[in-house]
Chains A and B, each alone.
Chain A
């Protein structure tokens, strides 16, 4: 076995879709071996969260006395209110516990996010390599959430389908193997991740009466709905974790941080595979003579060895057909010449130039107008888009930018450049790039408003018409661009 490479082991294991049966003694050995599943920070946050939720749910339920929303029985409300003497105390408790909860989570998020940005060694899933829509979806999720173990993939959707049919008694297919979290957990995680900010925000709005009256009023049902959604999942979560006998090890892993290897093997086979490959990798480093039977149970090791022989030499990658390269970019002088002609044409016909950034502020104002018309109409800045009976969307710029999107897509499609991918410097991860792009966008959007236009609307349009301010803007922006590029050089070079 010593001649088996890690890569061979990984590939051979991938041929096993379901955990093969083991003998009783092998199971015993596996049950004895512990594997770490959660670290201390996660365990602490979990129990802090659990205790807070219990208190918040009890006090929250007792707070709801209005006929429309009330659901807790009177005796319960009386007991809880009695414990706090006055309803005022009860509300205070609910609010301040909520505030503590928010503060702890903020701290956790901020520190977690720093770790998330720094953790560049994290396995990145290439976005553009795969044609499969599920892989793309997963890759996008991974960029957003950072942890591949939390993203829903193709197997998860299959798991959900089979699980659902199984519950309805329509299917008895075995469930596909799962990673460190199963699809149900991931789905619930997604729901909680989306609802927690909603609960926090509406809670703060209600507690401190922030914003206009309608906002406070709407916060009430939204707060209840969000809590309701989380609680509906929480029931299953608690039942599975604390009551359901098969999932007992998962509950204890939330206290000790460890689970038995057998549990992972049975319930999170995909995760177990990952761990085994990793284990093999560094056992080999310290002890080159390690055999497969040291790592795997005998019967399984035999099966894996057979598979490896069957598959032959797995070390060699099969050669992939070379992809056709995208077309070359235009000569910059030619592109500039065409762009100049386009500007001349626009001036000749419309008497105006081209732009881009006011598309965003106009769309934003349009959206504001849907939610709070009196706010935008009386706002010293946004109200300009309504002067003389104009509307934010009824403008040259809106249609021009829609055209830009069509034209850019058309061109990139034709030149074989249209694909989901991320442009970034060689030294940074996808997540850092997305974060930086978002931050740069904020600066750019703000700067474009202060200067009354961006590189197109102010720089090119004003430059061509020899506007004094536009020329000042161009030189300042390019100069600061060089300065800012120097500061952020490690992100690009």
Chain B
């Protein structure tokens, strides 16, 4: 097992930070190219006219999760040494609700708002400012009240295969099936006539391409 490389060999902290900037540049570049600097394109996801966000999201998930599995099978990447977000059922449940509500109000998520702000969009900048206020309010104002939720349902470093008692390969296979199903539905709706928001639209339904 040669990877994670930086956990096997010692590399100067300066180089780690330098590479982090390069990775960030690629991250920002891809997000911008996907169209995530545009709040309308992201929001269109929720009005059934442009499923770019869910397509990018699930493609990343299947490439990433299948890739990790293969890297492990080839004997290159030690999955015990990588960071897996810890599970706190209540924290993630309530956090998901608050964050999901923010999607409809603001149209960005923290990462995409930075992309938008960097390309000069004033709404992106306002969103970043708001996200900063919201982030700091968690520690400064709400922490005492939300502490129990934040820490609630702690299950530690647990993954779906362990949780369901299935082979990781089977779970990744199910994820791929689910993603393909989602893509199929997304394409159907994008090209079809079904439009639950028809009577609310002031502009014709379209995919923002530029």
Q: Please give the residue numbers on chain A whose beta carbons come within 8 Å of chain B beta carbons, in ascending order.
A: 127, 140, 143, 325-330, 332-333, 335-357, 359-361, 363-365, 379-382, 394, 396, 399-413, 415, 417-427, 430, 433-490, 492-493
Contact = CB atoms under 8 A, between A and B. Distances in A.
B5 A450 contact: no
Nearest to B65: A464
B37 to A, nearest CB: 6
B2 to A, nearest CB: 9
Residue in A357, A396, A424, A426 with the greatest tally of chain B CB atoms within 10 Å: A357
Contacts, number: 550
B contacts with A: majority SS: helix
Contacts of A458: 85, 92, 95
Contact of A339 (B17, B59, B130): B59
A325 B119 CA distance: 16
A206 B132 CA distance: 28
B161 A349 contact: no
Nearest to B19: A349
Place the interface of chain B in its size category. 35 or more
A324 to B, nearest CB: 11
B180 to A, nearest CB: 11
Given A329-B210, A437-B107, A463-B65, A335 B33 contact: yes
A457 B109 CA distance: 11
A356 to B, nearest CB: 3
B24 interface: yes
B68 A440 contact: no
Contacts of A382: 139
A434 to B, nearest CB: 5
B45 to A, nearest CB: 8
7 contacts: A332-B51, A410-B29, A440-B106, A443-B106, A478-B100, A481-B103, A484-B101
Given A342-B30, A401-B24, A468 B197 contact: no
Contact of A404 (B51, B99, B115): B115
Nearest to A333: B59
Interface string B170-191: 0110010000000100000000
Given A437-B39, A446-B135, A349 B3 contact: yes
B64 A340 contact: yes
A332 B55 contact: yes
Nearest to B48: A482
A479 B39 CA distance: 18
B122 A421 contact: yes
Contacts of A488: 104-105
B96 A476 contact: yes
B143 interface: yes
A486 B45 CA distance: 12
A470 B160 CA distance: 10
A332 B20 contact: no
Contact of A477 (B86, B96, B108): B96
Contacts of B183: 333
Nearest to B52: A332
